[in-house]
Amino acid sequence: MKRFLMKPKVFCVIVLLGTSLFMACTTRQKIKLSELPKVKMIEILAVNDMHAALDNFPRFAFMVDSLRAIYPDLLLVSGGDNQTGNPANDQYPEKGMPIIELMNAVKFDLSAVGNHEFDSRLAGFEHITHKAEFEFLSANIELPKKANFRIKPYKILKTSNGVRIAFVSFLDINNIGIPDTHPDNVKGFVFKDPFQAAPKYLFLKDSCDVFIVLNHMGFEEDVKLAKQLPTKSIDLIIGGHSHTKVDKDQIHNGIMITQAERKLNYATLIKLAISPEGKVDREMHLLTVGKEGSKRADIQKMVDAYNNNPALTETIAVAEDDFSTYEEIGFLMTDAIRVTSGADIAFINPGGVRISNLAKGPIRTKDVYEMDPFGNEIVVFKLSGHEIRNLFLSAFVLDDFLPIYPSGMTSRYLLKSDGSLKDVELYTSEGKAFDMDKIYSVVMNNYMSSIYKYEHKDPGQGLFRTSAESTIEYLKELKNIPSYRGVQRVEMMK
């Protein structure tokens, strides 16, 4: 077979020409690929209702740092109720500052205003808003004119990849038109219905690539809000208030809703993908936080300093048995304020009991402040049986259909088939029917006396001591706390 022999010069020319053509095609291809629009990613880590869970913060801080190593532009947000629930925070000389200092240390970007933010009282909350190195948001409140609260209705953030994110926030309002806090804590504020306020902020959708509502309204209320608004008008609702554990996608009317339970037991990692056409794809992952695992050493040092308070670790009594329900602890608290005040009867509202478990053995002052963190004064009234019944009827709806915890008497709630209250029957501790015309001395906290609207004559007399202080005094005198297992003072009947 005859071979075709190419001259060297001709071969070199062909090779060079082919190489040039290949490089030219490759270069053009690279230019085209680089010019293609790209999907932009946003990552958010969300918590809510931390309630000053200082002991979980070293672990949480380590997780935040680990996620930021993967997602450098990670946004960190809270759905509100950063305050109340840990005596190391609540009894701190600068009330409420430990949790704020920890949030500053891990670089939070935003927080909703929760109802328990107001527990620091007016001056305390105002101070906290200026100490926080992050923004507080709430769009359905008007701030007191003579104060200087650093709270905004909304905030637009621009990320390093050019995405504009609008955050707006709404706060739940109860049946008397305020958040769930003592009325004195919100003097000067005006609160608007969040469902009426929300549509007024839909203009933000046109000002951003992603529209997020950072709420403190409760999961069911968030669902209600999502269904009220136009379909897909909001990309995401990050919620709080109801302590709901949302561990899988919740999409309502095209809007994703998340919530991460409470007390830094969990956090929600949210990933948003924004296409060149503006479509937002969403996914969420509920992450376990807790106390166990690797921790950030400098944050642990801060927490140890906050916890180093001998006044909180003093043993004041010994419990003979475990407490395992809110009712059992509520009955102990009502016994304490009844005995120390010398009243015939004592009441505690269900929301005034903040823990449901207490282990047998040594009981410390810290345990009492965890049961009862609000610092409410106790007040004594002279009430007839009829007036007490009026109080119970009024309180039931306001307390979300939960009964009052009593001492010195028992009660029977007669419910309709739909769960609403038909009537309340009152009995003595011995089970005898109440003398409805008799006048009883009744002690309760001043939160109850301020928000329960019922017909009664006596305006009440404050005793200039808190319910927690009364419980501490009672337990010191008692020394050994008897078992409350199986104690029944409230009956619910349909």
Q: Per residue in 339-353, pLDDT tens?
A: 999 999 999 999 999
Per-residue model confidence (pLDDT) at position 419 = 87
346: its two tokens? 């004592």
Q: Per residue in 243-257, pLDDT tens?
A: 999 999 999 999 999
Closest CA to 444 of 403, 400, 407, 409: 407
Q: Per residue in 400-415, pLDDT tens?
A: 899 999 999 999 999 9
324: its two tokens? 């395992």
What residues have CB less than 8 Å from 87, skipping those under 6 apart? 309, 312, 365, 366, 369, 370, 373
For 318, the 3-state DSSP assignment is strand
**pLDDT confidence of 36, banded at 50, 70, 90?**
low
For the chain, percent of residues with pLDDT exceeding 70: 93
**Cα gap 180→474, rounded to integer Å:** 28
**Residue 24 above 50 pLDDT?**
no
Q: What is the pTM of this model?
A: 0.88
DSSP assignment string, 310-329: HHHH-EEEEESS-B-SHHHH
For 152, the 3-state DSSP assignment is strand
How are beta strands 210-214 and 236-238 bridged, if at all? parallel
Angle at 320 between CA 327 and CA 355, to 5 degrees: 35
**Mean pLDDT estimate for the chain:** 93
Closest CA to 66 of 84, 43, 49: 43
Cβ pair 77, 137 in contact under 8 A: no
For 280, the 3-state DSSP assignment is strand
Per-residue model confidence (pLDDT) at position 10 = 40
Tell me the C-alpha to C-alpha distance, in Å, between residue 352 and each of 62, 196, 253, 322. 33, 30, 35, 20
- Running DSSP on this structure, what letter comes out for residue 398? H
**Residue 19 above 80 pLDDT?**
no
Hunting for tokens 């690797």 — which residue is that? Answer: 294
Per-residue model confidence (pLDDT) at position 9 = 44
What residues have CB less than 8 Å from 170, skipping those under 6 apart? 138, 139, 140, 194, 197, 198, 213, 215, 216, 217, 225
Hunting for tokens 């504020």 — which residue is that? Answer: 189
Q: Per residue in 419-436, pLDDT tens?
A: 899 999 999 999 999 999
**Residue 3 above 90 pLDDT?**
no
Stretch 193-197: mean pLDDT? 98
152: its two tokens? 């905004």
**pLDDT confidence of 35, banded at 50, 70, 90?**
low
Helices 297-307 and 97-105: crossing angle in degrees, nearest 10, is 170
How are beta strands 266-274 and 40-47 bridged, if at all? antiparallel
Cβ pair 112, 240 in contact under 8 A: yes
Q: How far is CA 328 from the centre of its chain?
A: 24
Per-residue model confidence (pLDDT) at position 428 = 97
Task: Read off the amino acid at residue 446.
Answer: N
Per-residue model confidence (pLDDT) at position 139 = 98
**Residue 358 above 60 pLDDT?**
yes
**Cα gap 440→385, rounded to integer Å:** 7
- What's phi and psi for 188, nearest 5 deg? 95, -20
Cβ pair 330, 282 in contact under 8 A: no
**Residue 381 above 50 pLDDT?**
yes
Delineate the domains of the chain, giving CATH numbers in brackets.
40-306 (3.60.21.10), 309-493 (3.90.780.10)
Q: Per residue in 450-471, pLDDT tens?
A: 999 999 999 999 999 999 999 9
Q: Per residue in 71-90, pLDDT tens?
A: 999 999 999 999 999 999 99
Task: Read off the amino acid at residue 197.
Answer: A
**Residue 1 above 70 pLDDT?**
no
The region of weakest confidence among 33-37, 329-333, 456-460 is 33-37
| Rounded (10°) CA dihedral 325, 331, 332, 334 | 140
69: its two tokens? 């190593």
Q: Per residue in 95-128, pLDDT tens?
A: 999 999 999 999 999 999 999 999 999 999 999 9
For 78, the 3-state DSSP assignment is strand
| Alpha carbon distance, N-terminus to C-terminus of the chain | 106
Closest CA to 475 of 380, 335, 346: 335
**Cα gap 327→329, rounded to integer Å:** 5
